[in-house]
Structure 1
Amino acid sequence: MDKCTQELHDRLKDARSFESSLDILYEIVQGLGFTQVLYARQLVNPRIGENEWVPLRLNVRNFPRGWEHKWREFEAHDPYYHACFNGTLPFDWSDVQSSDMLGREESEAWRYLADYGLERGMTIPIHLPEGKFAVVSAIVDRTSSATWDTLYSNTYQTMFHLTHTFHKSISNRGFLDEVEVALSNLLSPRESECLRWAAHGKTSPEIAMILDRSVETVRLHIKNAMLKLDASTRTHAVAKAVRLGVLTT
């Protein structure tokens, strides 16, 4: 275990939450020469069909003010997120940016971050059982005088070990449930309830009787759930909600 990884391992023993753990990771990564760090996890398999992705919510340190205002539009189109499923090793953001395989929305996503100075970075994916996933990225913004190619080559191995040590620690300490994910509050309790009864074959009038609500209210909850899930029918909404892990039947 290298010196930085040992330091992270030792300091994380005193962390009391996910947020304090991420603070420690940021301090160590900053000591290597990076200016930002992020961690994210996915509770379900990230792919929905061939070209659709579950949004990825980023938990960040030292990102520029205002960066998140429109980022929600790109959470499912982040090309660095998508590139994680091409392998298991760290990769340079520039290799993703120059790929001729990027779609329009992916190109818009990385350029959006670049407009905030977040253009040079490396991402380290962690592939977990049942298609679950976690990731750390370390970034250098415009305020840094670091030579990117040198920093990348000098920290490649260290960042790999830091990433896996960090994730293992917060998992062992029971902090994973504190990590914000994009789908945690996708459906309201009433929308979930109506959709759950629909999954059991109940019609809107039947659900209205069960829940003691009007048929119009039930239909509105199901319609809202369909909109949030980008589903064309209630059957499609149920299937997609189950697939995303936001509805249990």
Structure 2
Amino acid sequence: MSKSENFGESLDVLADIVGRIGFTQALYGYIPSMPRQRDGTWAPLKLNVRNFPAGWEQGWRQFMAVDPYYRACFSGTDPIDWIDVQHSDEISPAQNKAFEFLGDYGLSRGITIPVHLPFGRFAVMSAIADRSCKNWHVLRTGAREPLFRVMHAFTRAIFQRGFETQIEVADRVMLTRREVECMRWAALGKTSAEIAIILDRSPETIRLHIKNSIAKLNATNRVQAVANAVDRGLI
């Protein structure tokens, strides 16, 4: 990991470590904001993977927000055995379809390690054993503790080296520096005219920045845009 120059190379190292433990696939996901939105919906989780079967990703997009293993991460902080999730009484029909989709690709046995980060951010790693792994019951018994240590060491290294901005996420919102400034002042209750005086810009320019921010944040008005910006850690 110390020789990795970017997130992609770091993920290669993670996959190699997971492989040495006995797993055949690895994934890492990151949400730079609160996964559960104010309206009760869930931010979709983009999976950054290694050694997955070809062709799986396009079909998986419909399950990014209902991923049952992702949702299970919010019932605690301990490693999650996929089999336990599959046997849960709280699984929805859409999540059952997610199980079936992954199972069609031979991806039905794994262990997921969640990390709940400061300011509501979230990271997750899963180590998966496909059909080629013949000793799953032995593997899962001894793998939980080493995977827990690997995940926390990996996440710490990623953030220490500033690679977190390189992680592909499902709905990363990028505001310009001026849009962030406008949102910050709007969050403090300033009007467009007041922000224009503060930033030495015309009111029309400020209104344009705020309008652009509202669109980028999938909001319907200024108040909702500010709330969404806060939720995403943008202001």
TM-score class normalised by the smaller sequence: 0.7 to 0.9
Question: Is 1:174–2:174 an aligned residue pair?
Answer: no
Give the match's secondary structure for 1:124: strand
Partner of 1:73: 62
Question: Paired residue for 2:144, among 156, 160, 179?
Answer: 156
Give the match's secondary structure for 2:111: strand
Question: Is 1:113–2:107 an aligned residue pair?
Answer: no
Q: Are the structure 2 counterparts of residues 174 and 238 from structure 1 closer, same or farther at C-alpha, using a change threshold of 3 Å?
A: closer
Partner of 1:49: 38
Per the normalisation by structure 1, the TM-score is: 0.75
Q: Are the structure 2 counterparts of residues 174 and 243 from structure 1 closer, same or farther at C-alpha, using a change threshold of 3 Å?
A: closer
Q: Are the structure 2 counterparts of residues 116 and 174 from structure 1 closer, same or farther at C-alpha, using a change threshold of 3 Å?
A: same
Question: Is 1:183–2:171 an aligned residue pair?
Answer: yes
Q: Are the structure 2 counterparts of residues 223 and 155 from structure 1 closer, same or farther at C-alpha, using a change threshold of 3 Å?
A: closer
Q: Are the structure 2 counterparts of residues 16 and 222 from structure 1 closer, same or farther at C-alpha, using a change threshold of 3 Å?
A: closer
Per the normalisation by structure 2, the TM-score is: 0.79
- Distance across 1 between alignment mates of 2:111 and 2:44: 20
* Aligned-residue offset at 1:57: 1.3
- Distance across 1 between alignment mates of 2:206 and 2:74: 46
Q: Are the structure 2 counterparts of residues 66 and 212 from structure 1 closer, same or farther at C-alpha, using a change threshold of 3 Å?
A: same
Question: Is 1:141–2:135 an aligned residue pair?
Answer: no
Post-superposition CA distance 1:7-31 (Å, at most 9, x none)? xxxxx12222111111111112112
- Distance across 1 between alignment mates of 2:84 and 2:223: 40
User: Aligned residue pairs: how many?
Assistant: 226
Give the match's secondary structure for 1:56: coil
- Distance across 2 between alignment mates of 1:167 and 1:133: 10
Post-superposition CA distance 1:158-189 (Å, at most 9, x none)? 111111111112222222221112222x4786
Question: Is 1:16–2:5 an aligned residue pair?
Answer: yes
Question: Paired residue for 2:204, among 207, 210, 213?
Answer: 210
Amino acid at match of 1:169: A
Kept after mapping to 1: 8 A contact 2:114/2:122: yes
- Distance across 2 between alignment mates of 1:183 and 1:245: 13
Partner of 1:100: 89
Post-superposition CA distance 1:2-59 (Å, at most 9, x none)? xxxxxxxxxx122221111111111121122211001111211211137411111111
Kept after mapping to 2: 8 A contact 1:41/1:134: yes
Amino acid at match of 2:41: E
Structure 1 residues without counterparts, runs of 5 or longer? 1-11, 203-207
- Distance across 1 between alignment mates of 2:56 and 2:33: 26
- Distance across 1 between alignment mates of 2:206 and 2:221: 24
Structure 2 residues without counterparts, runs of 5 or longer? 193-201
Partner of 2:195: none
Identity among equivalent positions (%) equals: 44
Q: Are the structure 2 counterparts of residues 43 and 223 from structure 1 closer, same or farther at C-alpha, using a change threshold of 3 Å?
A: closer
